[in-house]
Amino acid sequence: MRITATIAAVVALFPLASLAETLHTKVVILGGGVSGISAARNLTAGGVNDFMIIEARDELGGRAQNIDFADTKVELGCNWVQGLGTNPVNVLREKYGLKTAPNNGDDVVFYDENGLVNFTEAYNTFGEAYDRMSELALKRLQNGQVDISSRVGLDLAGWYPMTPLDEAIEYYNFDWEYGENPEVSSLLYGVLNDEYSYGEKIFGEGSDGDLFVLDERGFKHIFLEAANEVLKKNDPRVLLNTKVTKIAHDDQGVTIHTGTDTIIKAEYAIVTFSVGVLQHRDVQFSPRLPDWKMEGIYAFNMATYTKIFLNFPHQFWDDTQYTMYVDPDKRGYFAAWQNLNAPGFLPKKTSNNIFFVTVTQDYAYQVESMSDEEVKQEAMKVLRTMYGDDIPEATDILVPRWHSNPLFRGSYSNWPIGELDQHHTNLKAPVGRLYFAGEALSKEAYGFLQGAWFTGEETATHIMQCINSKCPKIEYYPMIYNTKTFKERKDFA
Ligand SMILES: Cc1cc2nc3c(=O)[nH]c(=O)nc-3n(C[C@H](O)[C@H](O)[C@H](O)COP(=O)(O)OP(=O)(O)OC[C@H]3O[C@@H](n4cnc5c(N)ncnc54)[C@H](O)[C@@H]3O)c2cc1C
Ligand SMILES: *[C@@H]1O[C@H](CO)[C@@H](O)[C@H](O)[C@H]1NC(C)=O
Ligand SMILES: *[C@@H]1O[C@H](CO)[C@@H](O)[C@H](O)[C@H]1NC(C)=O
């Protein structure tokens, strides 16, 4: 890396002008989340040490963030290792001794305004329908049939929610995982995500399962350690607190403009910003990205999954890991509650009894526009409906706002009905010397940490091919056509 103070002479004449500097590197990694870290590791392993990481926040890790709350720490973002065995996230967990507790989704109770609800029958009915829906999706994929929404898939599998309890069960199993409802979610890619993002098919025997991270060092600890394996302490190749504002690119290279006076010139860039950030045009591309690329970016969804943390003077809820609230009218309203006092979770302290609730989609956007106090009042209303008026008032509240955060614009991606395979190929494809990575770009593991990890190393590998011999030919679709024009079709019944 060469550091050149381009206008040192000018600064000498105008001592008040800030010192603009231009940094030169071979590969500039834009964003220091899991995909950026994974790209840096892969470059290093391939002998390319001339890279830089540009990150707007004051530390690496991206959506792996924890924060002080009620005399402990809580995870604002990712919280589960989803898929064990050879999952790179699980490998890091083992290597760095991350503290976790076994997750059990069936350890759940349901409450409505009359208290505990017997959910067994409806829960099993949904489970069976969900399995039929998955089989149906895999069959459609094999047949080469088009995608349908998961709502249609559930219906074809014999499930339609008829009661508020049905809706709560469906929300727990669907929205609370994908971050969006079955109406907008793809059936085929959702099921592929379910089957191929984790579990035995990918990460080997016994790898099915999730671990819930409860470590005061944070989930981020393992990713920071993974970064430290290839970075020196205070490595000058890492620029923190540096927000990228503009990415100029041509067939010679890329120029990165930042919120400071620093400019970075590189031969290649790896853009790892979330698909939400790309959609919001928080970063300007010059020239603008081609239509085929924009079509891929805009056709994808950035979901919002908001965990609202509440602390209480004592525990009044069940010992189960999960508690679901069944609202009579509003599906998914302050519905999915989690108990950090569950056996094997946080050590019992008098100073914390944390019960937190996740909202998604419209309720997540709504919550982001409310004050913390207003959110607390809504949450307390729901809890009094479930447990009666004698429960204590929450003493602390924490509301992450992922959707309005210009560095994220949501929590993780979800494959919507309408995004074709070709759109997704375009979302991932490079544009000249701009290469892309990040969780959304993983066809199988979008939404997950391992998706971010895999795309980071894959893109780094592609760039090294460019550097060492010849760039790989990566397919994309300049235009996406229907397979048959209307006139040609003879397959109407
Ligand atoms: C609430 C929540 C819950 C989740 N739960 C799980 C889970 O349990 N298990 C799981 O596997 N995954 C989970 N995920 C998803 C997981 O966190 C992501 O898939 C993963 O962290 C994404 O990594 P990434 O590198 O693709 O993107 P990011 O982490 O978003 O990295 C991109 C980086 O770019 C930086 N950046 C953005 N704009 C700029 C700019 N203009 N200039 C400079 N830097 C910029 C950002 O600060 C960020 O560090 C969850 C995410 C959230 C938010
Ligand atoms: C709940 O309902 C199931 C059948 O629907 C029944 O077998 C079970 O005994 C019920 N549980 C309780 C606690 O009433
Ligand atoms: C780099 O990434 C490729 C996938 O693109 C992977 O096969 C290889 O193992 C990675 N290298 C290292 C050292 O992790």
| Ligand 3 proximity of 42 Cβ (cutoff 6 Å) | yes
DSSP state of 186: B
Could you tell me how far CA 13 lies from the centroid of its own chain? 48
pTM, two decimals, is: 0.95
pLDDT digits (tens, 9 = 90+) for 317-350: 999 999 999 999 999 999 999 999 999 999 877 7
Q: Are 8 and 427 in contact (CB under 8 A)?
A: no
d(CA 427, CA 441): 7
Give the atom of ligand 2 at the shortest distance from the alpha carbon of 118. 1
d(C-alpha 34, C-alpha 217), whole Å = 16
| Predicted pLDDT at 123 | 98
Q: Residues 101-159: pLDDT tens digits?
A: 999 999 999 999 999 999 999 999 999 999 999 999 999 999 999 999 999 999 999 99
Q: Is 377 in the pocket of ligand 3 (CB under 6 A)?
A: no
Candidate from 118, 128, 165 with most ligand 2 atoms within 8 A of CB, to mutate = 118
- Is 70 exceeded by the pLDDT of residue 492? no
Residue 404 marked ligand-binding: no
- Measured by CA distance, the residue closest to atom 18 of ligand 1 is 449
Residue nearest to atom 5 of ligand 1 (CA): 78
Measured in degrees and rounded to the nearest 5, phi and psi for residue 358 equal -110, 135
Residues in CB range of 462: below 8 A, 6 or more apart: 430, 435, 471, 472, 474
Q: What is the mean pLDDT of the chain?
A: 94
DSSP string covering 199-248:
SHHHH-TT---EEEE--TT-THHHHHHHHHTTS-TT-TTEE-S--EEEEE
What residue type is 88 in one-letter code?
P
Span 275-283, average pLDDT: 96
Provide the residue ranges of all domains of the chain, joining segments of one domain with +.
19-62+216-298+418-468, 104-208+305-401
Torsion of CA 316, 318, 319, 322, to 10 degrees: -120
User: What tens digit of pLDDT does each residue of 191-229 get?
Assistant: 999 988 888 888 999 999 999 999 999 999 999 999 999
Per-residue pLDDT at 1: 47
Residue range 156-171: mean pLDDT, rounded: 98
pLDDT digit string (tens) for 244-267? 999 999 999 999 999 999 999 999
**Nearest CA, atom 1, ligand 2:** 118
Could you say which ligand is closest to the alpha carbon of residue 454?
A: 3
**Class for domain 104-208+305-401, per CATH?**
alpha beta
55 labelled as ligand-binding? yes
Q: Does ligand 3 have an atom closer than 6 angstroms to the CB of 461?
A: yes
| 64 CA to centre of ligand 1 in angstroms | 7
- At the top level of CATH, the class of 19-62+216-298+418-468 is alpha beta
Helix axes 220-228, 34-45, angle to 10 degrees: 20
Query: What would the mean pLDDT of 436-444 be, rounded to a whole number?
Result: 97
d(C-alpha 379, C-alpha 364), whole Å: 13
* pLDDT score of 450: 98
